[in-house]
Amino acid sequence: MAHVEAADGTLPEFANLVDLVSERVGGLPIFASDEFFAEKENLVKPGRGVFIVDKFTDRGKWMDGWESRRKRDTGYDWCIIRMGLPGTIKGFDIDTNFFLGNHPPFASIDALWSAQRLGPRDDFSALKWQEILPKSALKPGSRNFFKVSTGDTWNYLRLNIYPDGGVARFKVFGETKPDLSHLTNNDVIDLAAIENGGVVLGCNDAFFGPKDNLIMPGRGINMGDGWETRRKRQLPGHDWVILKMGVAGTPRRILVDTNHFKGNYPDRCSIEGIHAPNATLEALAKSQDWQPILPETKLQAHMIHEFAGELKAIGKITHARLRIFPDGGVSRLRIFGNPAV
């Protein structure tokens, strides 16, 4: 397995993919060999972790990460994580932010596919783990990026640290591979949802809020949990985002949610669709084959907009394009329809 650490100060291309173990998508650390100083659950929280100078617990300095005690014998520490989204993995970020004199010098990662839902009482040593990141050096107080090359689908990971210490965050970038074999043409699902394999391929602007927020589970928790563009100073104009459906299908109902966007919601929006299974983002952005699904429509602040009867029937689509006029923020986009299976 090839692995490459990114240069300091750069974000590798794979870091633009979805974090498959984030707590936002259901990622959950289920067991750790030791978490004396700081809880394993911190590994999958958003952001990079914070440092509060004067905050202590009855066990020592409070740290925003997973931290084991100092090991006085042989061995190493490890943590088992249930991935929120099963998928293929393209890269890792083992972030030692604020862990300076107590970071692990090395780490490795093992992966597993299990049809059984594992819990803390299971015998993890009896499972057939596959090493996908060999023992690799970590830097203190840094985002340590590693690229991996494996086409397999996984749903459990084991993060090993040598011999002990603290990791602030653990991010696993990749592509969702849900099991959709049970679906029929009569089912209605959110074709664009991340849990159904949907992907936000690209957008022209995401200055205030990442594009991937559009298809995350649940409603946005605040204004930062949405897709938001900067203020457009040259008019006319508009912003756009292109999504790939997890499975091709026929749209029946669409929700555009401007939750928490009050003084900065888009004035209007429109939605188009296209059936182009193998098209790249560049080809889609230039294509003249987009067909209107929802015509340019007025939006309101902090509100779920539901569209059904006004949608134009264009058949099955593989991609959708949301345009917002002229700019602003959208919390979630849901495209409910019948999967073409």
pLDDT (average), residues 290-310:
98
Distance CA 158, CA 32 (A): 9
Tell me the whole-structure pTM to 2 decimals.
0.90
**Do residues 114 and 250 share a domain?**
no
Q: Is the Cβ–Cβ distance between 227 and 262 less than 8 Å?
A: no
Token output for 85: 């989204």
The mean predicted confidence, pLDDT, of the chain is: 95
The mean pLDDT value for 308-334 works out to 98
Report the pLDDT value the prediction gives residue 5, as an integer from 0 to 100: 53
Range of the domain at 319: 189-339
Label residue 93 left, alpha or beta by phi (over 0 means left) and psi (-120 to 50 means alpha).
beta
Domain count of the chain?
A: 2
pLDDT band at 153 (very low <50, low <70, confident <90, very high): very high
**Is it the case that residue 251 has pLDDT exceeding 90?**
yes
- Taking CA 26 as the corner, what is the angle to CA 305 and CA 82, rounded to the nearest 5 degrees? 160
- Note whether 226 and 303 are same-domain residues: yes
Residue 87, in any domain of the structure: yes
Asked whether residue 2 is domain-assigned, the answer is no
Burial of 148 (0-12, 13-18, 19+ CB in 10 A): buried
Whether the Cβ atoms of residue 111 and residue 48 lie closer than 8 Å to each other: no
Q: Is the pLDDT of residue 192 over 60?
A: yes
pLDDT at 4 over 60: no
Rounded to an integer, the average pLDDT of 73-88 is 96
The CATH number for 90's domain is 2.60.120.260
Residue 44 has pLDDT above 60, yes or no: yes
pLDDT above 60 for 1:
no
Q: Are residues 149 and 74 in the same domain?
A: yes
CB contact at 8 A, 312 and 236? no
Banded model confidence at residue 114, pLDDT cuts 50, 70, 90:
very high
User: Is 169 found in the same domain as 24?
Assistant: yes
Residue 9 is predicted with a pLDDT of 64
Query: Alpha-carbon torsion 280, 286, 290, 295, what sign?
Result: positive
- At which of 176, 202, 224 does a domain end? 176
pLDDT grade for 149, boundaries at 50, 70 and 90? confident
Do the domain assignments include residue 6?
no
Cβ(255)–Cβ(214) below 8 Å: no
- Give the number of other CB atoms < 10 A from CB of residue 115: 5
- Residue 271, pLDDT > 80, answer yes
- How many other CB atoms are there within 10 angstroms of residue 255's CB atom? 15
Q: Decide if 1 is inside a domain.
A: no
Question: Do residues 243 and 170 both lie within one domain?
Answer: no
Give the single-character DSSP code of 333.
E
Tell me which residue has tokens 């669409």: 254
Q: 255 and 333, same structural domain?
A: yes
Q: Tell me, what's the pLDDT at 8?
A: 56
What is the per-residue pLDDT for 150?
Answer: 86
Over residues 41-65, mean pLDDT: 95
**Residue 289 confidence class, pLDDT cut points 50, 70, 90:** very high
Q: How many CA atoms lie within 13 A of 301 on its CB side?
A: 6
72 versus 133: which is more confidently predicted? 133
Tokens representing 331 are 């919390």
In a domain, 4, yes or no: no
